[in-house]
Amino acid sequence: MFDKLGEVEAHFEDIEVRLTSPEVAGQPQLFQKLSKEHSSLQPLIKAYREYKQLKSHFDQNVQVIKEESGELVELAVEENKELEGKLAGLEQELKILLLPKDPNDERNSILEIRAGAGGDEAGIFAGDLFRMYSKYAEQHRWRIDILSASHNDVGGMKEIIALIEGDRVYSRLKHESGVHRVQRVPKTETQGRVHTSTVTVAVLPEADEVEVHVDPNDLRIDVFRSSGPGGQSVNTTDSAVRITHIPTGMVVVCRDEKSQHKNKAKAMKVLSSRLLDQKQQEQHAKIAADRQSQVGTGERSEKIRTYNFPQGRVTDHRINVTLHQIDSFMSGDIEPMISQLISYYQAEALRNQAGPGR
Q: What is the CATH number of the domain that holds 259?
A: 3.30.70.1660
Closest CA to 128 of 338, 334, 330: 330
Q: Which amino acid is at 336?
A: P
Q: What are the backbone dihedrals phi and psi of residue 314, each rounded to the nearest 5 degrees, phi first? A: -125, 125
Q: Are residues 15 and 53 in the same domain?
A: yes
Cβ contacts of 334 within 8 Å, gap of 6 or more:
132, 136
Q: Are residues 117 and 61 in the same domain?
A: no
Predicted local confidence at residue 124, as pLDDT? 93
Q: Are residues 150 and 276 in the same domain?
A: yes
Total domains in the chain come to 2
Closest CA to 342 of 96, 137, 163: 96
Predicted local confidence at residue 2, as pLDDT? 80
Closest CA to 202 of 250, 245, 155: 250
**Of the candidates 71, 97, 123, which is a domain's last residue?**
97
- Of how many residues is the chain composed? 358
Predicted local confidence at residue 358, as pLDDT? 45
Q: Are residues 153 and 282 in the same domain?
A: yes
Q: Are residues 133 and 79 in the same domain?
A: no
Supply the range of the domain harboring residue 68: 2-97
Predicted local confidence at residue 37, as pLDDT? 85
Q: Are residues 50 and 146 in the same domain?
A: no
Tell me the CA distances in angstroms from 93 to 147, 330, 346, one per residue in order. Answer: 39, 31, 10
Q: Are residues 75 and 29 in the same domain?
A: yes
DSSP state at residue 237: S
Chunked mean pLDDT (size 10), the chain, 358 residues: 86 92 88 87 91 94 89 92 92 84 86 90 94 96 90 85 92 93 84 88 79 82 69 59 90 83 87 84 59 35 86 95 95 95 87 60
Predicted local confidence at residue 17, as pLDDT? 92
**Of the candidates 97, 120, 146, which is a domain's last residue?**
97
Predicted local confidence at residue 354, as pLDDT? 62
Q: Are residues 124 and 79 in the same domain?
A: no
Q: Are residues 81 and 181 in the same domain?
A: no
CB 145 within 8 A of CB 165: yes
Is residue 261 assigned to a domain? yes
CB 169 within 8 A of CB 110: no
Predicted local confidence at residue 160, as pLDDT? 92
